[in-house]
Structure 1
Amino acid sequence: MNLEEVDASAWSSLESAAKDPQSGFRFINLCSVDVAGRPQARMVVLRRADTAARLLDVHTDTRSPKWLELSRNPFVTILGFCASTRIQLRLAGTTRLHSPGSDLAEKAWSELSAWTRRTYAGGPPGDELSDDETVPVVAGDEASGKAFFGVVSFRAESLDWFELRRADNRRAGFEYSHLGALVASRWINP
């Protein structure tokens, strides 16, 4: 594969992962910095990928620490690894938050299953549970979670692609314009 094919394949994999719960890139790490300047990483579900714009969307509860972190510092890294292809994708870029009631949050909410909607109806993420609570009590129906549902849109500025092989690992770097166009690519020593 040449560099353009590697880039196209990486983004095709991300687009597929947003639609296929069994995809190796369906669950990705969103890495940010907390208010104390400490690195934070958490698994999120990739919900949408747009190759032309170099955008990825994930959903979150707006009461979560990550929402506050991203509102203060939009610079993040996204890391994914597909065990079957042995490919790692490390993307760096910025986030934009779409609050409850925004057009994107409304559209995304309308496409969620009732079960997923109910996950936003409970207490704030990270709240302490009592000793006898093993599962948080969901106070309210699925509609009550809509007030806390937000979308995080990530725009990639760069991609570090790495293929782990038995011999001759391969690595490439890609840079994108603010409109998503590929502006630079190169092979990198793994």
Structure 2
Amino acid sequence: MIFGKKEKISTLDDVLSSSWKSLHKGVRNFRHPFYRPALATMDGNKPDVRTVILRGFSDKDRTLICHCDARSPKVSQIQGNPDVSWLFYHPDKWLQLRLSGTARVHTNDKIAESQWKKVSLTSRINYCSRTSPGSPMGKASLAPSSFLRDKAPKLLDHPEARKNFAVIVCRFDQMDWLLLKLTGHIRAKFHWEDDRIDASWVIP
């Protein structure tokens, strides 16, 4: 089975190796399709999904990391129900990757502090707003004068921005890998329980 120009996939181990490589690339390269996955949470009994930026991945710990505003709805949603799902899609390879597990929000601990140090100055501005994400506003975007009044002065105010910063860490225990092909789709499923893995090819 040929995957891409050089990568060959013929076993379930190949699927895992290929998936880990793509996820690591998604963290390092903002042009990679896996850089912007979709994260789904539960808002009561309704699903809620949005695009996030993949900030970290560990194949050893099976963890995915993204950042968010601590006041955003997804934070309270995860605190109420930690079950989440991630969707990655590579349009050139026609590859879909779904990862499911449990998430935890970090705000005032070593994990949050470590991630905060990686946030650039230009990105820290996203955590300087006086109002919470999703709050109503009168215009489609902030005018330059509003920007200068509301956010820019706080760029150097480390505590003000830092208190609005949160890290979402998900440990996944299920993965669904689907390769779309004109000659026939190929799909594999993985389930981890402690250190044991159950993997199999399944009907697409």
Q: Structure 2-normalised TM-score?
A: 0.86
Aligned counterparts of 2:183 and 2:196: Cα–Cα separation in 1: 29
List 4+ stretches of structure 1 deviating above 4 A: none
**Which runs of 5 or more residues in structure 2 are unaligned?**
1-8
The residue number in structure 2 matching 1:189 is: 203
2:191 pairs with 1:175:
yes
Q: State which drifts further: 169-178 or 158-167.
A: 169-178
Q: Take 1:128 and 1:153, find their aligned partners in 2: how far apart are those partners? A: 29
Question: Aligned-residue CA RMSD in angstroms?
Answer: 1.4
The DSSP-based 3-state class of the residue aligned with 1:67 is helix
- Which among 4, 23, 38 is matched to residue 46 of structure 2? 38
Deviation at 1:182, TM superposition (A): 5.4
CA displacement at 1:84 relative to structure 2: 1.6
Q: Is the 8 A contact 1:77 1:92 kept in 2?
A: yes
Alignment of 1:159-170 (within 5 A): 159-170=175-186
Aligned to 1:130: 138
Q: Which residue of 2 aligns with 1:98?
A: 106
Q: Give the structure with higher Rg (CA).
A: 2
Q: Structure 1: which amino acid aligns with 2:200?
A: R
Task: Write the distance in 2 (CA, Å) between the matches of 1:10 and 1:134.
Answer: 38
Does structure 2 conserve the Cα–Cα contact (< 8 Å) formed by 1:78 and 1:91?
A: yes
1:142-175 Cα offsets, whole Å, 9 max, x none, are 3221101010001111100000111111000011
Counterpart among 126, 133, 141 of residue 154 in structure 2: 141
Residue in structure 2 matching 1:3, options 8, 12, 15: 12
Q: Which amino acid is the alignment partner of residue 188 of structure 1?
A: V
Distance in 1 of aligned mates of 2:104 and 2:196: 21
Superposed CA offset, 1:31-71 (max 9, x none): 11113x21100000000000011100000111000000000
Q: CA deviation at 1:118?
A: 0.7
Cα distance, 1:12–1:88 mapped onto 2, change above 3 Å: same
Q: Report the residue type matching 2:133 in the other structure.
A: P
SS of aligned partner of 2:61: coil
Corresponding letter in the other structure for 1:19? R
**1-side partners of 2:113 and 2:66: how far apart?**
14
CA distance in 2, matches of 1:12, 1:141: 38
Query: 1:15 matched to which residue of 2?
Result: 24
Contact persistence 1:159–1:175 (CA under 8 A): yes
- Give the aligned partner of residue 88 of structure 1: 96
User: How far apart, CA to CA, are the structure 2 residues paired with 1:59 and 1:134?
Assistant: 22
Query: 1:12–1:51: 8 Å Cα contact kept in structure 2?
Result: no
Alpha-carbon distance in 1 for matches of 2:54, 2:98: 14
Q: Which residue of 1 aligns with 2:128?
A: 121
Unmatched 5+ stretches in structure 1: none
Structure 1 residues 48, 89: closer, same or farther in 2, change over 3 A? same
CA distance in 2, matches of 1:176, 1:66: 25
More helix by share: 2
